[in-house]
Amino acid sequence: MIIEPRTRGFICLTSHPVGCEQNVLNQIDYIKSNPVANGPKKVLVIGASTGFGLASRITSAYGSNASTIGVFFEKPPTEGRPASPGWYNSAAFEAQAHKDGLYAKSINGDAFSNEIKAQTLKLIQDDLGKIDMVIYSLASPVRTHPDTGERFKSVLKPIGETFTNNTVDFHTGVVKEISIEPCSGDDIDNTIAVMGGEDWKMWIDLLKSADVLSEDFKTVAYSYIGPSLTEAVYRKGTIGRAKDHLEATAFEITDSLKDINGKGYVSVNKALVTQASSAIPVIPLYISLLYKVMKEEGIHEGCIEQIERLFNERLYAEDLQLDEQGRIRVDDWEMRDDIQAKVLELWKEATTETLPNIGDLDGYKTDFFNLFGFNVDGVDYDKDVNEMVAIPGLQ
């Protein structure tokens, strides 16, 4: 079939298998030319199919020949209806990895559940024995608690006061003011339940108690801080509380792994266009301006460049360069004073009329469509494609 993008609001309902494959192959090429000395060898990636998690899987596999197990929650294709992009990404990654002689298997299901955890543990025991790294890269709006069955929904809201600022609809380029009412009721606790560290700790506890973590084991989860512009809705909002919890969980994990010299870390990453971030108000306008400034300075990175730097210059380097709160920072270039000062200047001038010139709205849009395998260089979109692509290592 011919597959075209069909968008509704901040999501795209279709995805293109060949475009997704090309994205994965581009990331593999990047890592092949930037290998990781002394990198991980046996890796579990939770949230492995898109964004930072996919980049982490590719960096592990192609940076240091790691065997990888990927866990994700993606929609398979049906006749005439494309899969979700993470499905096609995983299919492309595994097909290529198998060709290149790398172990790669996947589990598609709810990572928050006991069933998927047990299935993953069994696969590790059967195939890998012990693992030396777990990447935790889930982004989800909901979580069903595995013990109580309670279903939590996360919200992206400010705490205490209404937040009013500009945002952009990146489809139309219209810049307008929006107001977001403060959270209420159990919003904070629910958001912590979904995006905080409880599930990460559950995974590590299970794997530790089953004795499948090797000496000097490492686990990393991803966090975000961002500028003062987005603080009220992000870092000081409900999602920020969840990130505070996630960051605190890293220390608990390290404490629980003392006997194997294991470590839990949080890496604070750069703002990037992913399915998760395009849904957050104000962030698209910030990212459009940030991309413009960082590209002009020659320091723009995508997910793969971020994770390659995380592995090569932090996790598997001499010095993790932790900040005062014990976090790894690969958002260091985003947060540079000169970069932030420029973004703030542009923010004040940003209108529907000025944004195409002062911001990188095209870059934003391209990245958004690329997430779904569209607008990818070198792909012939007029060519018939088979939507029924299988993931070779799917369990």
Other beta carbons within 10 Å of 169? 14
Whose Cβ is closer to ligand NAI: residue 214's or residue 372's? 372
Whose Cβ is closer to ligand NAI: residue 64's or residue 269's? 269
Rg of the Cα trace of the chain? 20
Question: Shortest CA distance to 134 belongs to which of 63, 202, 62, 38?
Answer: 202
Task: Work out what residue 156 binds among Na ion, ligand NAI, none; the CB cut-off runs from 5 to 8 Å by kind.
Answer: none
Contacts of 164 (CB under 8 A, 6+ apart): 177, 178, 179, 180
Q: Which residues bind ligand NAI (CB under 6 A)?
A: 47-53, 71-74, 86, 110-112, 137-140, 222-224, 269, 271-272, 274-277
Question: Which residue is nearest to ligand NAI, using beta carbons?
Answer: 51
As a whole number of angstroms, the distance between CA 309 and CA 269 comes to 11
Task: Supply the minimum distance, in Å, between the C-beta of residue 336 and ligand NAI.
Answer: 16
Whose Cβ is closer to ligand NAI: residue 205's or residue 260's? 205
Question: Which residue is nearest to Na ion, using beta carbons?
Answer: 53
Task: Work out what residue 244 binds among Na ion, ligand NAI, none; the CB cut-off runs from 5 to 8 Å by kind.
Answer: none
Tell me which residues are annotated as active site.
234
Task: Supply the minimum distance, in Å, between the C-beta of residue 302 and ligand NAI.
Answer: 11
Task: Supply the minimum distance, in Å, between the C-beta of residue 49 and ligand NAI.
Answer: 4
Task: Work out what residue 112 binds among ligand NAI, Na ion, none; the CB cut-off runs from 5 to 8 Å by kind.
Answer: ligand NAI
Beta bridge partners of 268: 223, 329
Task: Work out what residue 183 binds among Na ion, ligand NAI, none; the CB cut-off runs from 5 to 8 Å by kind.
Answer: none
Residue at token pair 């932790």: 322
Task: Supply the minimum distance, in Å, between the C-beta of residue 162 and Na ion.
Answer: 31
First CA to last CA distance, the chain: 27
Whose Cβ is closer to ligand NAI: residue 74's or residue 132's? 74
Residue at token pair 């592990």: 60
Task: Supply the minimum distance, in Å, between the C-beta of residue 287 and ligand NAI.
Answer: 8
Whose Cβ is closer to Na ion: residue 107's or residue 229's? 107
Task: Work out what residue 364 binds among ligand NAI, Na ion, none; the CB cut-off runs from 5 to 8 Å by kind.
Answer: none
Q: Which residues bind Na ion (CB under 5 A)?
A: 47, 51-53, 137
CB 158 within 8 A of CB 243: no
Task: Supply the minimum distance, in Å, between the C-beta of residue 109 and Na ion.
Answer: 16
Whose Cβ is closer to ligand NAI: residue 214's or residue 233's? 233
Task: Work out what residue 49 binds among Na ion, ligand NAI, none; the CB cut-off runs from 5 to 8 Å by kind.
Answer: ligand NAI
* DSSP H/E element including 305: helix 303-310
CB 17 within 8 A of CB 87: no
Amino acid identity of residue 98, one-letter, is: H
Torsions phi, psi of 185, nearest 5?
Answer: 55, -130
Q: Report DSSP letters for 136-201, one per residue.
A: E----SEEE-TTT-PEEE-----SSS-EEEEEEETTTTEEEEEEEPPP-TTHHHHHHHHHSSHHHH
